[in-house]
Copies of this chain bind each other. A is one copy, B any other.
């Protein structure tokens, strides 16, 4: 597999073409960003830990029948992924109400949601990634209602699988962000990454934060906390 042209140079990740037109290479940088890139910093090894956690989770999902863009980890910082056409939506699945959503709803941070919350955002930097809903997304042509059915049922399945996985690792899955794309054959699959950059992970016993809130809230020990997540996952004895 030959690394080709740089297709996308993001703050945290780069995407390269490969010699297979159906495949791309994801490269994880040592960067953290928050608040729509207003806050940004470098943390040595962060990209390696993110790559390993996301690869671990995508392999776990694959074994459990969930289609993602992930093919295999190529090295410490890179993974081979299926090329997809990005659906410009982010779906945040919340088991607990934490972060800005708690302020928005006037609810205490960390409150268990009485039902799982599914929040859809329009992934559009120029518009500030606004929250939208199903009918808005369809009305402006981003997806069809049929696409959304697949997206929500996939998200529901992933949340169930990850609640189980992280429960066994002594970690509360507070929320997770999912992105999706369409393959050249039109299949909708999970894309991007699933890691402490895109989820809230709280230690089950102490509520200690093991995710990007350590950066957002200046709590320190960012990479060390991400490593706790990786260590706990790797020490699980999965069937």
Residues of A bordering B, CB below 8 Å: 94, 97, 101, 104-107, 113-120, 122, 124, 126-127, 130-133, 135-136, 138-141, 145
Residues of B within 8 Å of A116, CB to CB, are: 135, 139
Residues of B within 8 Å of A130, CB to CB, are: 104-105
Tell which of B107, B126, B131, B133 touches A118, judged by Cβ atoms closer than 8 Å: B133
Chain A contact residues: helix, strand, loop or mixed = mixed
Contact across chains for A105 and B135 when beta carbons are under 8 A apart: no
Contact across chains for A106 and B119 when beta carbons are under 8 A apart: no
Contact across chains for B139 and A115 when beta carbons are under 8 A apart: yes
In the complex, given contacts A105-B122, A106-B124, A119-B136, what are 5 additional A-B residue pairs having Cβ atoms less than 8 angstroms apart?
A105-B132, A105-B136, A114-B138, A116-B139, A117-B136
Tell me how far the C-beta of A121 lies from the nearest C-beta in chain B, rounded to whole angstroms: 11
Copies in the complex: 2
Q: Could you tell me the distance between the alpha carbons of A198 and B32 in the complex, rounded to whole angstroms?
A: 44
Contact across chains for B105 and A127 when beta carbons are under 8 A apart: yes
Tell which of B114, B124, B131 touches A139, judged by Cβ atoms closer than 8 Å: B114
Tell me how far the C-beta of A230 lies from the nearest C-beta in chain B, rounded to whole angstroms: 30
Residues of B within 8 Å of A114, CB to CB, are: 138-141
